[in-house]
């Protein structure tokens, strides 16, 4: 059984909205995806809540450029 979910996230580097596909069947995980606009790596943290059948997605830039 696979549970796929499409999510829109804002790239922390350039601010563009990119579309990523999450595979929730593997449970919570950390992974990186390259922004298709600026090619910088985006650190994504996915938390799967089995109880409520929801996916929480957290996005952050690796280099901590918080203004």
User: Nearer to Zn ion by C-beta: 11 or 46?
Assistant: 11
User: Nearer to Zn ion by C-beta: 12 or 24?
Assistant: 12
Among 28, 38, 45, 56, binds Zn ion (CB under 5 A): 38
Cα separation of 42 and 46, whole Å? 13
**How are beta strands 29-34 and 17-23 bridged, if at all?**
unpaired
Residues 18-37 that bind Zn ion (CB under 5 A): 35, 37
Among 14, 29, 60, 63, binds Zn ion (CB under 5 A): 14
Cα separation of 42 and 60, whole Å? 6
H or E element in which residue 56 lies: strand 54-61
Under rule CB under 5 A, residue 46 binds Zn ion = no
């Amino acid at each position: 059984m696979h549970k796929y979910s499409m999510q829109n996230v804002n790239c922390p580097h350039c601010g563009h909205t990119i579309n990523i596909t999450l595979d929730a069947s593997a449970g919570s995980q950390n992974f990186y995806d390259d922004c298709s606009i600026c090619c910088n790596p985006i650190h994504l943290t996915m938390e799967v809540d089995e109880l409520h059948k929801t996916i929480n997605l957290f996005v952050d830039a690796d280099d901590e450029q918080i203004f």
